[in-house]
Amino acid sequence: MSNRKATFAKRQRETELKDRAKLKEAQRVERASKPRTTKGPETDWAAAPVVGSNTFEMPVVDPTPPASNDSAD
């Protein structure tokens, strides 16, 4: 009789594991299907370098602030 109890317990454990795996998969699919509202910064794909292209150049930025023309009034 001990064998029947062990077999039933094993089947019950396997069923619980399968149910838990199905639940986790359903939750994962649900999370993946929702649009994300919090994520990293948006990429400006028009300004992004093209993979395999060696023509990308960094923009030149003048570190000095522009001179103000207050005395020209």
Contact indicator for 50, 56 with CB cutoff of 8 Å: yes
pLDDT score, position 27: 94
pLDDT score, position 25: 96
Which residues in the chain land under pLDDT 70? Answer: 1-2, 38-39, 43, 45, 48-60, 68-73
Cα 20–23–28 angle (5° rounding)? 125
